[in-house]
Chains A and B, each alone.
Chain A
Amino acid sequence: MLTTPGGWLLLVAVLAPFVGVLAGLALGGRNAQRVAALSLPVGLAVAGGIGWTLLHSGGTMVYLLGGWAPPLGIALRADGLSAVMLLAVAVVICGIGVYALADFGSPPGTPEKRAPLVFWLLLLAVWGSLNLVFVSGDLFTLYVALELLTFSAVPLVCLDGRGETLRAALRYLLFALAGSLLYLLGAVLLYGGYGTLDIALLAGRIQPEPIAWAAAALMTVGLLAKTALFPLHIWLPPAHAGAPAAASAVLSALVVKGSWFLVVRLWFDVMPGVVTLPSAQLLAGMGAAAIVVGSIVALRQERLKLLVAYSTIAQIGYLFLMFPLAFDASGSTLLHGGALTGGLLQAVSHATAKAGMFMAAGLIYAALGHDRIADLGGVARALPVTVFAFAIAGLALMGIVPSGAYLAKKLLLESADSSGQWWWTIVLQGGAAFTAGYVVLVLASALRRPTAAVPLVKRVSRLSEFAALALAMSSLLLAFAALGPLPGHLISNPLLPKELGPTLLVIMGGTLLALGLSRRPLLGGTANVGRMRRAIVAAGTSFEQADAFLRRWPSASLALLLSAALLGGLLLARGPQ
């Protein structure tokens, strides 16, 4: 194995952001922002260059550090998966950079502050660590990359230094550390069993046997803790809701995708023959539970940012639905196929849409000085672009034509049909209605006529509003970009009855959910407090209590160990062969 032409781009993709971090730290003050402004376009160009090179060479890009080949040396590798994630992350980071100019800019003449310096440095650090996650070719480098990602993400939570955000950051750090130790333990076991940590070499040597099963279970569950897949979401809501809007967008759109990507790498590229269909069903089952619980608790929130944070939990659940759908016909090996493409598209469309949504929520918070959903009336008139961006992001998450999520859903539904797993069809279709529920809830409040003029605390920056809109739009139009390499029959005219029907059904289902579960009656007044609504609200409250119970430390860490044991057990179940 040798370094391929253009392989140095991989090194630049990782090094450029970290050079930016060091330069920004050395120059200090408002220079950090200038360094970031310089690094963002460079990084975007490098990601584009990697994508272009891969498109034309068609294989895998490799860069051998120092010219040493594995198993002694360390290789950086990029395949199609890495290139797509690199590009998506570069676009989202640039969007967030533009958005953050208003919040974290320090124009000449204003005093230098600490939070902007830290924000720009950490933004670059998150980017560099994510790029390292996407191009690393060995499991130990991936461990270091994951830790770098956590260490740069945790301080983003508590940029404002309030007590509750510090607590959220510490909870996040401690739970993530527990997860990374499980991952490291798994990696150590793999080295003990097979004598290498290089992904390509390991894939050739690994056998379905106890040491591989133990390692797979430990590593997967450790990564799930970092991804905050239900019921391991203990740290996510306070951390994502308490951070400043630009930081929330980074955390929710990008950071959780890092560990998710690693689960994909592990299952599809390292041990496709070791994992089993039952264990994949467990992952997807946790995902389905995340969709139901995350969405229902989101509908019960009073604060917009917490609502968006809980919707992130539901969206993380979506990302795991593809695992059982990606098995081959005999159910023994994971394949790179339509389901994986669908899952990847879902991750990209969620990254762009969720960043846009958190940005819009942050602008609403900044303009009103609060984010109580019940008091959002009139905000649509005061901030039309922002509310429009929120709506577009919501439509994109629901999977309306021509969003990326729509195409992803199509691909996953096809895999579910062809493999006969009809139950995931129900989850995929029903999940969209849940998403529609909280989007309708927010929009209904935002579009309501205000009782008095809406007092705006602060004028929001036009640039930030359009950055949010641009990211939301790119998610909604993602299907067009993805169509090139995919078969053309997947997308159709959104106004055909065949497409319009399900769309309307999804929105109607969502509206019913919002009507039933919202904390304040949506139609105003207390006239509709019927027996039906009371029963539904009681059910919603019990979901909230279950969520609060699972987010206590002892129950969450026991859930961590239990899911590792359960996953290990299911890996033993080989099924008919």
Chain B
Amino acid sequence: MTAATLFGLCAAVLIGVGLFGLIVNPHPLRKILAFNVIGSGVFLLFGAIARRGAAAGMGGDPVPQALLITGIVVAFSATALAVALLLRMFDATGSVTLANDTPARTGTETGDA
């Protein structure tokens, strides 16, 4: 097994673990963390691809590395935005649940919504 394959498999495991967390954890902060775990998996995969695609005489393909930096910045901004929203939501409602998505505005009058 080459190093690139090993890293690729690790990436697959990270993505799987993150997806599991994103689906089963009801807490939004854990979902945000799970998102970051999946993101790490994708970035690791991209790194492995860069290593595998290295041209003769070079340590790695430079294009994925440039894209990776951008991807990390995007993931960072997404995390910051999500955490900011979560904090605002906690300030406004005192709870952090995502589940109650049918508040009073959808027909509670008949009680079947």
Contacts and interface: CB of A to CB of B under 8 A. Distances in A.
Interface of A: 71-72, 140, 143-144, 147, 151, 154-155, 158, 161-164, 166-171, 173-174, 177-178, 181, 184-185, 188, 191-192, 195, 197, 238, 241-242, 300-303, 306, 519, 541, 544-545, 548, 551-554, 557-558, 561
B82 A173 contact: yes
A16 B31 CA distance: 36
Contacts of B78: 147, 151, 173, 177
Contacts of B15: 185
B101 A238 contact: yes
Contact of B46 (A161, A188, A302, A557): A188
Given A163-B92, A185-B42, A553-B26, A192 B101 contact: no
Contacts of B35: 174, 177-178, 181
Q: Which among A164, A167, A178, A548 has the greatest number of chain B C-beta atoms within 10 A?
A: A167
B107 interface: yes
Interface of B: 15, 19, 22-24, 26, 28, 31-32, 35, 38-39, 42, 45-46, 49, 52-53, 63-64, 67, 70-71, 74, 77-78, 81-82, 85-86, 88-89, 92-93, 98-103, 105-107, 109-110, 112-113
A170 B38 contact: no
Contacts of B93: 163-164, 166-167
A215 B70 CA distance: 20
Contacts of A161: 88, 92
The 3 A-B residue pairs with the shortest CB-CB distance, nearest first, are A163-B93, A192-B49, A163-B92
A184 B89 contact: no
B106 A301 contact: yes
A181 B71 CA distance: 10
A267 to B, nearest CB: 22
Contacts of A144: 70, 74
B42 A170 contact: no
A164 B22 CA distance: 21
A558 B23 CA distance: 7
B101 A174 contact: no
Contact of B88 (A166, A185, A519, A553): A166
Given A192-B49, A554-B24, A561-B19, A306 B85 contact: no
A174 B31 contact: yes
A501 B89 CA distance: 52
Given A544-B112, A553-B99, A170 B106 contact: no
Contacts of A184: 42, 71
Contacts of B99: 552-553
Contacts of A177: 35, 78, 82
A154 B24 CA distance: 23
17 contacts: A140-B67, A147-B78, A158-B88, A166-B93, A167-B98, A168-B101, A170-B86, A173-B81, A173-B85, A174-B31, A185-B45, A238-B103, A519-B107, A519-B110, A548-B113, A551-B101, A553-B98
A171 B113 contact: no
Q: Which among A168, A178, A242, A551 has the greatest number of chain B C-beta atoms within 10 A?
A: A178
A302 B106 contact: yes
B107 A302 contact: yes
A551 B112 CA distance: 15
A428 B86 CA distance: 41
Q: Which among A71, A302, A552 has the greatest number of chain B C-beta atoms within 10 A?
A: A302
Contacts of B39: 181
B50 to A, nearest CB: 9
A154 B52 contact: no
B28 A174 contact: yes
A188 B64 CA distance: 9
Given A166-B88, A174-B31, A188 B19 contact: no
Contacts of A192: 45, 49, 52-53
B92 A544 contact: no
Contact of B23 (A71, A151, A154, A554): A554
Nearest to A192: B49
B13 to A, nearest CB: 14
A167 B89 contact: yes
A448 to B, nearest CB: 19
Contacts of B38: 178, 181
A164 B77 CA distance: 23
Contact of B92 (A72, A162, A551): A162
Contacts of A72: 63
A184 B18 CA distance: 15
Contacts of A306: 105-106
A519 B110 CA distance: 9
A490 B19 CA distance: 48
Nearest to A300: B107
B4 to A, nearest CB: 10
Given A174-B35, A174-B98, 6 more contacts: A170-B28, A178-B38, A188-B46, A238-B103, A553-B99, A557-B23
B25 to A, nearest CB: 9
Contact of B45 (A188, A302, A558): A188
Contacts of B26: 553
Contacts of B88: 158, 161, 166
A173 B82 CA distance: 7
A250 B82 CA distance: 21
A151 B105 contact: no
A163 B82 contact: no
B22 A557 contact: yes
A181 B41 CA distance: 10
Contacts of B92: 161-163, 166
Contacts of A155: 81
Nearest to A188: B46
Contacts of B46: 188, 191
A192 B35 CA distance: 22
A151 B85 CA distance: 12
